[in-house]
């Protein structure tokens, strides 16, 4: 059973702080990793993807991948109230893509 | 990013009737589409994976005779909820991937369909 695990939260951070979201996966053959954001009542939207070990930065977002430890994380710098949402980690191997349960983030003004 | 259009966005139907939900990739060919169900405050639950021209692969516990999936073309997949009951009320979301890019391809999501069975 391929599993993707996330801490469901809620994770609460003050405005301007760094939010750190973590995800672990069970399938060592996983090849691609994605972070999605989902606002309440809406469908998920892609934030970032990462394929190689290390860090990948895009604006205030940094994705970190460690295949040996089977975890991927998302850092959000200078968190804003508009970042409050559920963040979904997705792991892909060929045609198969699995999502974690999501971490609910609240950024307090 | 690519656009996936899902229709209708909301539907209310009577118990015992069937409802069809359409998922279209507007500007790319999606060889693989996924159907999810999400109950309030819960995570996405994968229902089935469909590849164009072949039968859908259903997740364990999902009744294939109740949730009919058709992926007849590279741009259209449909989910039909047959003989709907109130417990089928949920948020149904489709997503599409361009499988020729292999595992690198991200999934693009439709807007979702909120089904209410009364």
Question: Which pLDDT band, with edges at 50, 70 and 90, does B100 fall under?
Answer: low
pLDDT digits (tens, 9 = 90+) for A2-12: 689 998 788 99
| A34 DSSP assignment | E
pLDDT digits (tens, 9 = 90+) for A38-79: 998 899 999 999 999 999 999 999 999 999 999 999 999 999
Q: A4 and A97 in contact (C-beta within 8 Å)?
A: no
pLDDT of residue B8: 97
Q: What is the mean pLDDT of chain B?
A: 90
Answer yes or no: is pLDDT of A25 > 60: yes
Q: Which residue has the higher pLDDT, A93 or A107?
A: A107
Backbone torsion region of residue B45, taken as left when φ is above 0, otherwise alpha when ψ lies between -120 and 50, otherwise beta: beta
Which residues in chain A have Cβ-Cβ distances shorter than 8 Å to B46? 98-99
Cβ distance of B32 and A51 shorter than 8 Å: no
Answer yes or no: is pLDDT of A105 > 80: yes
Mutate to test the interface with A, among B32, B33, B44 (most CBs of A within 10 A): B44
Q: A103 and A87 in contact (C-beta within 8 Å)?
A: yes
Which residues in chain B have Cβ-Cβ distances shorter than 8 Å to A101? 42-43
Cβ distance of A46 and B108 shorter than 8 Å: yes
CA distance B55 to B39: 26
Answer yes or no: is pLDDT of B105 > 80: no
**Closest residue in B to A44 (Cα–Cα):** B109
Question: Which pLDDT band, with edges at 50, 70 and 90, does B71 fall under?
Answer: confident
Residue A107: partners with Cβ closer than 8 Å, 6 or more residues away: A12, A13, A14, A15, A17, A19, A79, A80, A81, A82, A83, A84
Cβ distance of B32 and A31 shorter than 8 Å: no
CA distance A67 to A59: 23
Cβ distance of A99 and B106 shorter than 8 Å: no
Q: Which residue has the higher pLDDT, B42 or A108?
A: A108
């Amino acid at each position: 059973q391929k599993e993707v695990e996330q801490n469901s939260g809620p994770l609460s951070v003050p405005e301007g702080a760094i939010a750190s979201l973590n995800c672990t996966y069970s399938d060592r053959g996983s090849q691609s990793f994605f972070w999605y954001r989902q606002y309440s009542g809406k469908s998920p939207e892609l934030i970032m993807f990462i394929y190689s070990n290390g860090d990948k930065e895009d604006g205030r977002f940094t994705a970190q991948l460690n295949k040996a430890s089977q975890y991927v994380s998302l850092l959000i710098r200078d968190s804003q109230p508009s970042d409050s949402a559920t963040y979904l980690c997705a792991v892909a191997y060929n045609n198969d893509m699995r999502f974690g349960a999501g971490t609910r983030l609240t950024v307090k003004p | 990013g690519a656009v996936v259009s899902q229709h209708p966005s909301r539907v209310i139907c009577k118990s015992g009737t069937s409802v069809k939900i359409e998922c279209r990739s507007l500007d790319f060919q999606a060889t693989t589409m996924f159907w999810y169900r999400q109950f309030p405050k819960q995570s996405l639950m994968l229902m089935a994976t469909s590849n164009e021209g072949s039968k859908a692969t259903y997740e364990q516990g999902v009744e294939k005779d109740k949730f009919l999936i058709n992926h007849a073309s590279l741009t259209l997949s449909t989910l039909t909820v047959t003989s709907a009951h109130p417990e089928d009320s949920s948020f149904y979301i489709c997503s599409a991937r361009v499988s020729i890019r292999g595992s690198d391809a991200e999934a693009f999501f439709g807007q979702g369909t909120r089904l209410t069975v009364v």
